[in-house]
Structure 1
Amino acid sequence: MQTPTPVNESALSTHKAKSIFASKTFWGVVFTTVAAIAPILGNAVKEQKLTVDATVNIVIILCGSGATVAGRVQATQPIYTPQGLPGPNIDSMPS
């Protein structure tokens, strides 16, 4: 089990901007989206038709992915994890 590392308050209050392409969250969303859509498109190519159900599933995946990226871009506050999980705990957060 990891021991909590205290969060550096000055690091939290200094917001350094970074490119969306440098974000692990962004790339995680991209790879997950591709992995979710690829089998749907693979079946459509094999059957030589894209069904309404498949199209709806693709739209749902893209909406979820878009919401995740939008949430990442708009995030302004640090987050914490529950006790016992990796990452800063609420006790480590500045008051």
Structure 2
Amino acid sequence: MNAPNQPTGFDKPVAKSIFTSKTFWGAVLAGIASLVPLGINSIKAQKLTIDDAGQAILILCGVGTAIVGRVDAKAPIYTPEGLPGPNKSDY
């Protein structure tokens, strides 16, 4: 018997494009939704402040971290009982 989360010859995970990942698009859309207000305020004020630039950098770092985490993910995840998604007992 294989250890949990160890693929066998028959259940090897199938790779998919990053562009079909809900996590990827969620991170991208969250980044855009966070950056738009900064951009609008900067356009209205006709200047980009240091604070706005710092916030934009932090947002982009968060988006990048989420995308890298998705690309590097190897094992399935579970959620606590009562929350949507698979439970620990499902594995």
Q: Distance in 2 between matches of 1:87 and 1:41?
A: 36
TM-score (norm 2): 0.87
The equivalent position to 1:36 in structure 2, one of 34, 37, 55, is: 34
The equivalent position to 2:53 in structure 1, one of 47, 55, 60, is: 55
Q: Distance in 2 between matches of 1:33 and 1:72?
A: 15
Q: CA deviation at 1:58?
A: 0.1
Q: CA deviation at 1:86?
A: 1.0
Q: Percent identity?
A: 49
Gaps of 5+ in 1: 1-8
Higher relative contact order (CA 8 A, sep 6+): 1
Q: CA deviation at 1:14?
A: 1.8
In structure 1, the residue matched to 2:68 is: 70
* Count of residues in correspondence between the two structures: 83
Q: Distance in 2 between matches of 1:63 and 1:30?
A: 11
Question: RMSD over aligned Cα, in angstroms?
Answer: 1.3
- Aligned residue for 2:83, secondary structure, equals coil
* Structure 1 residue ranges, 4+ long, deviating more than 2 angstroms after superposition: none
